[in-house]
Chain A
Amino acid sequence: DAKTTQPTSMDCAEGRAANLPCNHSTISGNEYVYWYRQIHSQGPQYIIHGLKNNETNEMASLIITEDRKSSTLILPHATLRDTAVYYCIRSGGGADGLTFGKGTHLIIQP
Chain B
Amino acid sequence: GAVVSQHPSWVICKSGTSVKIECRSLDFQATTMFWYRQFPKQSLMLMATSNEGSKATYEQGVEKDKFLINHASLTLSTLTVTSAHPEDSSFYICSASKQAGTEAFFGQGTRLTVV
Q: Which chain A residues have a beta carbon within 8 Å of chain B's beta carbons?
A: 2, 34, 36, 38, 41-46, 49, 87, 91-103
Total residue contacts A-B, CB cutoff 8 A: 61
B12 cross-chain contacts in A, Cβ below 8 A: none
Interface residue from A91, A92, A97 paired with B46 (Cβ < 8 Å): A97
Counting CB contacts under 8 A, is B1 at the interface?
Answer: yes
Whether B93 pairs with A46 at a CB distance below 8 angstroms is: no
* Given A41-B91, A46-B1, A95-B32, also A102-B103 (CB < 8 A): no
Chain B contributes a number of interface residues (CB within 8 A of A) equal to 26
Binding site for A on B (CB under 8 A): 1, 4, 6, 32, 34, 36, 43-46, 49, 59, 91, 93, 95, 100-109, 111
Residues of A within 8 A of B111 (CB): 41
With CB as the reference atom, state the residue of chain B lying closest to A96: B49
List, in ascending order, chain B residues with CB within 8 A of A101's CB: 43
Considering the chains assembled together, what is the distance between the CA atoms of A24 and B102 in angstroms?
19
9 new A-B contacts, CB < 8 A, other than A46-B105, A95-B100, A97-B36, are: A42-B109, A43-B6, A43-B109, A44-B104, A91-B101, A95-B49, A98-B44, A100-B44, A100-B45
Given contacts A97-B49, A101-B43, A102-B43, contact A42 B108 (CB under 8 A): yes
CA distance A100 to B95 in the complex (A): 13
Cβ contact within 8 Å between B43 and A98: no
Q: Which of B1, B43, B46, B95 has the most CB of A within 10 A?
A: B43
CB of B100 within 8 A of CB of A94, answer yes
Given A49-B103, A93-B101, A97-B36, A44 and B44 contact (CB-CB distance below 8 Å): yes
Kindly state the separation between the CA atoms of A49 and B36 in the bound complex, as whole angstroms.
21
A100: chain B residues within 8 A (beta carbon): 36, 43-45
Closest B-chain residue to A47, C-beta based?
B103
4 closest residue pairs by CB, A with B: A43-B106, A93-B101, A95-B100, A97-B46
